[in-house]
Amino acid sequence: MQCEIVEVASSEDTIGYPCGNDASARCCDCDSHVCDSHAQSCESCGEVFCSTCFAFHNMSYHQKKPAAGYRRMRKSA
């Protein structure tokens, strides 16, 4: 099975080209086959993702929560 990631040269590149490397894993979110170069493992949960899904996964599931007791002090006149 081949890696299903499509690489682009720049943001204006509308076509891109397939990676072409042999796939070694599957993204646990979108189920795409990914090679070692494009697979990213989450250190917190151990799942494997493609780079796009990994970015969303980190923002959604492992982002640090703000401290509960912290309040910003307002300046008074």
In a domain, 77, yes or no: no
Burial letters 46-62, b for 16+ CB under 10 A, else e:
ebbbbeebbeebeeeee
pLDDT of residue 68: 58
In a domain, 21, yes or no: yes
pTM above 0.75, yes or no: no
Q: Is residue 23 part of a domain?
A: yes
- Encode pLDDT of 21-75 as tens digits: 999 999 999 999 999 999 999 998 899 999 989 999 988 877 766 555 555 666 7
Sign (positive or negative) of CA dihedral 19, 22, 27, 30: positive
Instruction: Please check whether residue 63 lies inside any domain of the structure.
Output: no
Does 40 reside within a domain?
A: yes
Confidence of residue 12 (pLDDT cuts 50, 70, 90): confident
Domain count across the chain: 1
pLDDT band at 13 (very low <50, low <70, confident <90, very high): confident
CB 35 within 8 A of CB 20: no
